[in-house]
Amino acid sequence: MRRHRRAPGAAVRLRGFTLVELLVALAAMALLALISWRGLDSMARAQSQHSARDEAVLVLQTALAQWGADLDGATNFGNTPALDWNGRVLRITRQAVDAQGSPAARVIAWTVGATADGSSSWLRWQSPPLASRADWTQAWGTAAAWAESALPGADAAATRVLPAASWNVGYFRNGAWSVAVQAQALGTATLPDGVRLQLQLPPGPGLSGLITRDWLRPTWAGAKTS
């Protein structure tokens, strides 16, 4: 094998990158940076969507828990209607206690209405504890009037529960579900065995579509909430 030796004192020639090679390297680095940015952006978007959905699920669970608690406490206070659905608002007479700890009642109202920002939401209103039939009558009428122009903030007793486009209510009686009717047509002492909530959620980053929730009276044989 022949070996070539550099003569003493000979200049060393170093070969660098050409302009074309440098441009190719820069283009490859730019491409890798773009791919990495898109990957990070996709991960950030997915994380944001998951966070929005998790938050929406938590809000929905809290709202449905409040809905169930209101129905669990429904009572015929002084032979008043426990429930009344007129196609727009569901009013509930719920068990409560007054400031002295004596038995009382509250009027609860649920409806879907417009909010101050123009969006549609599921709204809840409640009265203070009521100790007399006269107080209940006034609160019952106030709840109906509130539902006609329901706006949280305008009434301190009203709260915005979650976004909703529309809703409907059904009753469970005699082993079957049917369209809910007003309490006056059924008699003031009649409480259905169950209430079906159908809530239409608007499109959004969290939850959307139709939510159905069945509540069954705790004292009804085989009752359960599904």
Structure tokens at 92: 């509930």
Question: For residue 138, which amino acid is it?
Answer: Q
Report whether pLDDT(33) > 70: yes
Q: Which of 200, 196, 191 is nearest to 122 (CA)?
A: 200
Q: Give domain status of residue 16, yes or no.
A: no
Domain region containing 168: 50-216
Q: What is the mean pLDDT of residues 180-196?
A: 70
**Is residue 39 included in any domain, yes or no?**
no
Q: What is the pLDDT of residue 48?
A: 63
Query: Could you say which DSSP state residue 212 is in?
Result: E
Following DSSP, what letter does each residue of 6-20 receive, concatenated?
Answer: PPTTPPPPPP---HH
In a domain, 117, yes or no: yes
Domain-embedded: residue 221: no
* Residue 102 belongs to a domain: yes
**Chain segment 135-174, per-residue pLDDT in tens:** 999 999 999 988 887 665 555 577 888 899 999 999 998 8
pLDDT band at 118; cut points 50, 70, 90? confident
* Distance from the Cα of residue 89 to its chain's centroid: 18
* Distance between CA atoms of residues 187 and 80, nearest Å: 9
Residue 22 belongs to a domain? no
Q: Is 44 inside a domain boundary? A: no
Residue 25: pLDDT band with limits 50, 70, 90: confident
Total number of domains in the chain? 1
Look at 29-33, 104-108, 191-195, 208-212 and tell me which has the smallest mean pLDDT. 29-33
In a domain, 61, yes or no: yes
